[in-house]
Amino acid sequence: MKKIPFITLEKAKEIIAEIPTPFHLYDEAGIRRNARALKAAFAWNKGFQEFFAVKATPNPYILKILHEEGCGCDCATYTELLLAEAVGITGQDVMFSSNVTPEKDMRKAEEMGAYINLDDATYVDFLERLGPVPETVCLRYNPGGSFSLGNTIMDMPRDAKYGMTEDQMAGAINRLMKLGTKHFGIHAFLASNTTTNEYYPELASQLFRLAVRLKNATGADFRFINLSGGIGVDYRPEQPSCNIQTIGDGVRTKFEQIMTPAGLGDVAIFTELGRFMLAPYGHLVSTVLHQKHIYREYIGLDACATDLIRPAMYGAYHHITVLGKEDAILDHVYDVTGGLCENNDKFAIERSLPAIERGDIVVIHDTGAHCYSMGYNYNGKLRSAEVLLREDGTFQKIRRAETPMDYFATLDCTEFTFHN
């Protein structure tokens, strides 16, 4: 399916007149529409809640929009907790899913009243040292082996550093109950960026059966099952896209087959989606600076891998549109690059595109999640601005671009003076 930008050339020029490229642009209307579709797909579960994965797009304006649509926050660090708190998201609207957790982070999560999701059985000792254990605790499960759908291996949980075995979970539950914990949740993340409607129902089936076994073994009171993330997006135009309503219906079928007969029909379903919630509703907007003609044809942008590292790190595909040339013939083949001193700083390799000229405005699609947040400062490159395209068509800068003085700010403990 052809990918269509959510801005026109005219709107891009309007924004650029105030906020120079490169910048990350987010579509408020699309974000809200998608959040409502998720909520509708799981409306059959009265306790359903989405905890947006803050790591995907850690901007308070994004968190605020999603909170207005009923979403909480999935936080993994002290800083992410502070970000949620600044927006007014606290208590059981926060899921703290961390690993190799510093004491400072755990104390902050407890202070905020967040759900605590334990990554390891030894963290029971950790909680006990910090004071009274929480009334509700979640436990992260790792089944080991491989995770498959049919004959296709989706991921390898046995290679993941996260979670605990079923026996470890049972032992942790028994200890926690003795220490005063009354209610429990189960969490697992077994595959990333799946573009099949079968992933969540299969994951749910495994976790529902696990809940029944653990209830029978320990007598624990389970209040929620957290399906975490893993629902992906169709980065490539030819990829299938997930249908969230079909996914929700599939989870419901498994719930009614497994949970309801076991007396667990009141258990809530939680999710921790990031990519699915935001990726399609973000563009990296950039301007063409240079052309180069050697053994290949190169197009050099004012954006680089510090703005979008996924192609350099993973070889990931992101669709590219040249604004104003959406319907032009794709009769040129280019490598589209940034300006880092690294040869993997390429947004596209031998990509068929229309003829591109200096000054053209380029949109790189599906950059709403795990793009700005993975930015860095190699070569002294500065991180770009973030802009929100409002539902009414206006736009708002929601994070300014970095300056050289930002880059040098942590050298304020030294004898050196920097001039902009």
**Residues above pLDDT 90, as percent of the chain:** 91
pLDDT band at 145 (very low <50, low <70, confident <90, very high): low
Judging by DSSP bridges, how do beta strands 147-149 and 152-155 pair with one another?
antiparallel
With 0-12 CB in 10 A as exposed, 13-18 as middle and 19+ as buried, what is 411? exposed
C-alpha neighbours within 13 Å on the C-beta side of residue 112: 31
pLDDT band at 148 (very low <50, low <70, confident <90, very high): low
| Residue 160: per-residue pLDDT | 77
| Residue 149: per-residue pLDDT | 64
Extract the tokens encoding 342: 């690294």
The residues, any chain, with a CB within 8 Å of residue 122's CB and separated by 6 or more, are none
DSSP 174: H
The residues, any chain, with a CB within 8 Å of residue 153's CB and separated by 6 or more, are 146, 147
Query: What CATH superfamily is the domain 280-411?
Result: Lyase, Ornithine Decarboxylase; Chain A, domain 1 (2.40.37.10)
Rg (CA), the chain: 23
| Closest by CA position to 284, among listed 316, 256, 258, 308 | 308
The model's pLDDT over 25-77, given as tens digits with 9 standing for 90+, comes to 999 999 999 999 999 999 999 999 999 999 999 999 999 999 999 999 999 99
φ/ψ bin of 226: left (φ > 0), alpha (ψ from -120 to 50), beta (otherwise): beta
pTM to 2 decimals? 0.95
**Mean pLDDT score, 95-109:** 95
CA angle 355, 360, 361 (to 5 degrees): 120
| Closest by CA position to 123, among listed 103, 142, 143, 109 | 103
**Residues above pLDDT 70, as percent of the chain:** 97
Query: Residue 246 and residue 63: Cα distance in Å, rounded?
Result: 26
DSSP 48: -
**Mean pLDDT score, 152-167:** 79
Judge contact between 72 and 49, C-beta under 8 A: yes
Fold classified for 27-279: TIM Barrel (3.20.20)
Is the pLDDT confidence value at 151 over 60? no
**Mean pLDDT score, 135-164:** 78
**Mean pLDDT score, 341-362:** 97
pLDDT band at 153 (very low <50, low <70, confident <90, very high): low
Q: CATH 2.40.37.10: which residues of the chain?
A: 280-411
Q: CATH 3.20.20.10: which residues of the chain?
A: 27-279
Query: Residue 198 and residue 255: Cα distance in Å, rounded?
Result: 14
**Mean pLDDT score, 258-273:** 98
Distances from the Cα of 32 to the Cαs of 194, 253, 282, 386, 404, in angstroms? 22, 27, 13, 18, 35
Distances from the Cα of 86 to the Cαs of 164, 300, 392, in angstroms? 32, 38, 26
**Mean pLDDT score, 355-374:** 98
pLDDT band at 158 (very low <50, low <70, confident <90, very high): confident
Beta partners for 332? 353
Judge contact between 365 and 322, C-beta under 8 A: no
Query: Residue 74 and residue 58: Cα distance in Å, rounded?
Result: 11
Judge contact between 89 and 62, C-beta under 8 A: no
Is the pLDDT confidence value at 121 over 60? yes
Judge contact between 332 and 297, C-beta under 8 A: yes
